[in-house]
Amino acid sequence: MIGSGTGLVAALAARVAGAEVVVLEKRKIVGGTTGHSGGVAWIPNNNIMKAEGLADDPERARTYLTKLAGGQATPELIEAFLAAGPEMADFVEAHSPLRWRVSTILGNNADYHPEWPGAMTRGRSIEPVTDRQGLYGPELIGGLQKGFEDAGGELWTETPARRLIVKHHDENRREIVGVEAIRDGKPIRIRARHGVHLASGGFEWDFELKQHFLRAPTLYTLGAGGNTGDGLRMAMAVGADLRNMNEVYAHTVYKAEAEALRPNNMGATLNAEIEKRVAGSIIVNDRGERFHDEAADYDSTWRSFYTWENWGDLRYRNLPAFAIFDGSIRKKGKLAGASASDPLPDWFMEAPTLRELATRLGIDPDGLEATVARFNENARKGVDPDFTRGKSHYDRYGSDDVSITLGPIVEGPFYGAEVAAADLGTCGGARVNAKAQVLDPFGEIIPGLSASGNCAGIGSPGASYGGGGGTIGPAMTFAFIAGRELGAKLEATGADAGKPA
C-alpha cells in the first residue's frame, strides 16, 4: 500500500481479510492531505444518519450524484460508491477506535447544492466523534492508523516509493509484483505477493505537471507537501489509462499569504474562504465587477476566477481578483484571521473611501463604486439578483436569515486584499473500474494494481464536491473496495497471505 492517508482503509480491510500488509509513506508524518483536513467523509445513505432519523436512499443519492458528476464519472463508479460507502463507514467503526457522528462543522453541513434534485440538507457528511475543536483530520487518520497497527499491519514512514515492478509472463501478459522504494537512504525492492495499491495523493505540488494537465493551473495549494505525483508517474510508467486529469478541487485564499507559505511546501489557510462569506463583503475583478456568489461552496466559486476573456488580451477575465470588506467586519475581528486588536498584515489594504481603496489595490475606482452601489441597494432588500447570494440553504449556513451573508458595504474605513484560487488537491489519476482495479488505455485490467484517492481518476465520483468531505468519503470507499477485493481473492484461491518480501 503506497500512501498513508485514506489508503489506510485499504490496508485495514486487506489486513482484516488476512493479508500481510505494509504501508509505505513518503513523509515522516502520517496522513497526507487528509491528516490536516476537516476529517469529514461524505457518504450518502449511511447508517449514522439513519440512526438520527434522517432518511436517505440510493435512488435519491444517485440523482444528485449523476448531475454533480457532469459526465466525468461512469455510472459503474457511482453505483460502486453508493453501494460500498455505508458498508465502509460501518467497517471502520467495527475495526478501529473511530466512531462517527453526523457532521456539524458548518452548522448542519448541507450538501453543497442543496436545491438540486436528490440533495439533502443534513446527514450525508459524517465526522469522527471527538472532543477536539476545529479540524478532525488528525482524529480520522489516528483512528485508522491505530486500527491497522493493532491488527498487525506495518507502516514505514520516510519510505518513498519510486517504481512499480512488472513481471512479464509473455508478450501479452504482465503483472505488478512489487515496488521499488527508498528506505534509510538505500534503494529496496519489495515483492508484493497479492498486489500493490496506489493511494499516494495527487500532483498539486508538482507545478510542471499542473501546467501540463490542468485546464486552469492553480499556483497555490492546501495539499500535503509530499503530493508530487509519484503515484501518477508510477501508474503511467506501467501503461495506466488516465481520467479527470484537467480538474482540481479548490477554494479561495489570500494571495500574499499563499505566496509566503508556498516556498516551504506549506499550504495556504482557510481565512479568505471563511471571511468572503461574511455579510458586508464582496469579491471583484480589476474592473471592479463582481463575478460570482461569494457565499457558495468553495469548490464552485473558485472556477469563476478562470473565465476566459475572448477579446483583446487573451487572459482570465476575473484575475486578478480582490476581496472588499466593510469596516464593521474588522471591528468584529474577522479579517486575515486577526482579532480586532491585532494588526493586519501589511498586504491587507485599508482606506477611508472605496475609491481610495480601489486605487491602492489596482482596481478601476469607477467600476468598484458602481458595483458597491448596486450591491448595497439590493442587499438592503435582502436580495442579490446578479448572483443569488443568500438564496441557497448552503449560503445561509442552514439559517433562514439571509443577513448572515448578505449586507451592504457602507462603513469605513474599508479593507481589501488580493485573492486567488488554491487547490485542495488534484482530481485526476489512474483510470479504475468499480473494483478499484487500474485499467490500461484499452480498458484491460493491469493485474496486481489498484488505486484510490487523488492518484486515481475517480473524483467524488466526478470533478465536483457533493458536500463536506466530498473527496474523503469516495477515497475511503474505493480504498475499502480495493482491500475487500484482495480479501475475496485470498478466500477464493486459498492463497497464502504471506508477508511482503
Q: Does the pLDDT at position 267 exceed 90?
A: no
Query: Mean pLDDT lowest for which of 143-152, 413-422, 485-494?
Result: 485-494
pLDDT number for residue 132: 80
Between 244 and 499, residue with greater pLDDT: 244
* Rounded Cα–Cα distance for residues 232 and 120 (Å): 34
Place of cell 440510493: 58
pLDDT number for residue 501: 61
Q: Does the pLDDT at position 161 exceed 90?
A: yes
Query: Mean pLDDT lowest for which of 101-105, 163-167, 190-194, 464-468?
Result: 101-105
Provide mean pLDDT across the span 277-294.
97
Decide which of 3.50.50.60, 3.40.50.620, 1.10.10.60, 3.90.105.10 is the CATH code for 8-160+192-204+427-493.
3.50.50.60
Instruction: Tell me the pLDDT band of 30, cut-offs 50, 70 and 90.
Output: very high
List 252's β-bridge partners, or say none: 421
Instruction: Tell me the pLDDT band of 435, cut-offs 50, 70 and 90.
Output: very high
* Cell output for 185: 537512504
Tell me: cis bond preceding 320? Omega within 30 of 0 counts.
Answer: yes
Q: Does the pLDDT at position 494 exceed 90?
A: no
Residue 323 DSSP code? E
Which residue blocks in 172-291 are alpha helix, DSSP H?
Answer: 207-213, 230-237, 255-261, 271-275
* Rounded Cα–Cα distance for residues 382 and 77 (Å): 41
User: What is the separation, in whole angstroms, between the first and last Cα of the chain?
Assistant: 14
* Rounded Cα–Cα distance for residues 410 and 376 (Å): 8
Amino acid identity for residue 147 in this structure: G
Provide mean pLDDT across the span 127-149.
92
- In 184-227, which ranges are E strands? 186-191, 196-198, 220-221
Name, in order, each residue with C-beta under 8 angstroms of 286's C-beta and a sequence gap of 6 or more: 320, 321, 322, 362, 363, 364
pLDDT number for residue 496: 61
> What pLDDT digit, counting tens, does each position of 36-84 carry?
899 999 999 999 999 999 999 999 999 999 999 989 999 999 999 999 9
Q: Does the pLDDT at position 291 exceed 80?
A: yes
Which of 435, 445, 499 is CA-nearest to residue 194? 499
3-class SS at 141?
A: helix
> What pLDDT digit, counting tens, does each position of 89-122 carry?
999 999 999 999 999 876 668 999 999 999 999 9
Amino acid identity for residue 317 in this structure: R
What percent of the chain stands above pLDDT 70? Answer: 97
pLDDT number for residue 439: 98
Domain locations in the chain as residue ranges? 8-160+192-204+427-493, 250-423
CATH number of 250-423: 3.90.700.10
pLDDT number for residue 215: 87
Q: How many residues does the chain have?
A: 501
Provide mean pLDDT across the span 190-217.
95
> How much is the pTM?
0.95
pLDDT number for residue 263: 72
pLDDT number for residue 171: 79
Phi, psi of 114, deg, nearest 5: -65, -15
* Cell output for 418: 488580493
Which of 84, 82, 58 is CA-nearest to residue 488? 84
- CA 87 to mean position of chain CA atoms: 22
Provide mean pLDDT across the span 400-416.
95
Neighbours of 337 (CB within 10 A): 17
3-class SS at 291?
A: coil
* Rounded Cα–Cα distance for residues 331 and 342 (Å): 11
Instruction: Tell me the pLDDT band of 497, cut-offs 50, 70 and 90.
Output: low
User: What's the Cα-to-Cα distance from 202 to each of 68, 248, 423, 427, 428, rounded to whole Å?
Assistant: 21, 9, 11, 7, 7
Which of 487, 496, 426, 480 is CA-nearest to residue 455? 426
Q: Does residue 11 contact residue 1 with C-beta atoms inside 8 Å?
A: yes
3-class SS at 488?
A: helix
Chain mean pLDDT for the chain: 94
Which of 399, 418, 392, 401 is CA-nearest to residue 276? 418
pLDDT number for residue 108: 63
* Cell output for 315: 487572459
Between 450 and 462, residue with greater pLDDT: 450
Provide mean pLDDT across the span 118-133.
93
